[in-house]
């Protein structure tokens, strides 16, 4: 495959991954266990941000939060909505990067974005043990279906996320 064709294929996969993320409200967050170092996966609510990062609202009581405070590396998987075929036939994306606590002046905007996607969180978003975290996406593995998959590096992911925001 020529470099130009490969670039076009990866851009297409990035757009499809962006579309899957837009439709996702939940995902599976994989962290590294602070205690034993094994992978630990849990279901979380997620909201996509302009520019391609992912927004999470996590409790201090959760195992994944303790893990992230010890090692910020994580992966979050989302899949296309139900009703679009068997799960393994649907598009799915695994976002890899580092998770960081969010603070300061951006909290109000991020809270508004999160509540736009998860209005049910209004009842607990202000609890003292809940905090916003951002997964800074470094790369995305997108599987569009049988034989259609690829790695989208962070720079392309951010470019596609910004140019197709909406």
pLDDT the model gives residue 83: 64
165 pLDDT exceeds 60? Answer: no
pLDDT tens across 82-141, in order?
A: 665 677 778 899 999 999 999 888 999 999 999 999 999 999 999 999 999 999 999 999
Average pLDDT over residues 26-51: 96
In whole angstroms, give the CA distance from residue 67 to residue 120. 25
Average pLDDT over residues 63-85: 91
- Listed by start position, the domains of the chain span 3-163
pLDDT tens across 127-160, in order?
A: 999 999 999 999 999 998 778 899 999 999 999 9
| Cα–Cα separations (whole angstroms), residue 60 to 2, 7, 158 | 48, 41, 29
CATH class for domain 3-163? mainly beta
In whole angstroms, give the CA distance from residue 45 to residue 133. 12
């Amino acid at each position: 495959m020529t470099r130009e064709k490969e670039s076009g294929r990866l851009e297409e996969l990035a757009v499809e991954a962006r579309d899957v993320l837009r439709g996702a409200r939940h995902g599976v967050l994989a962290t590294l266990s602070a205690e034993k170092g094994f992978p630990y996966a849990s279901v979380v609510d997620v909201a996509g941000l302009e520019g391609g990062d992912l927004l999470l609202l996590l409790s201090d009581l959760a195992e994944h939060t303790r893990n992230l405070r010890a090692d910020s590396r994580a992966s979050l998987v989302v899949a296309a909505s139900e009703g679009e075929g068997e799960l393994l036939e649907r598009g799915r994306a695994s976002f890899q990067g580092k998770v960081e606590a969010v603070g300061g002046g951006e909290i109000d905007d991020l809270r508004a974005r999160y509540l736009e996607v998860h209005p049910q969180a209004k009842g607990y978003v202000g609890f003292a043990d809940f905090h916003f975290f951002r997964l800074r996406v470094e790369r995305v593995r997108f599987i569009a279906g049988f034989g259609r998959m690829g790695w989208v590096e962070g720079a392309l992911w951010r470019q596609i996320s910004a140019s197709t925001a909406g």
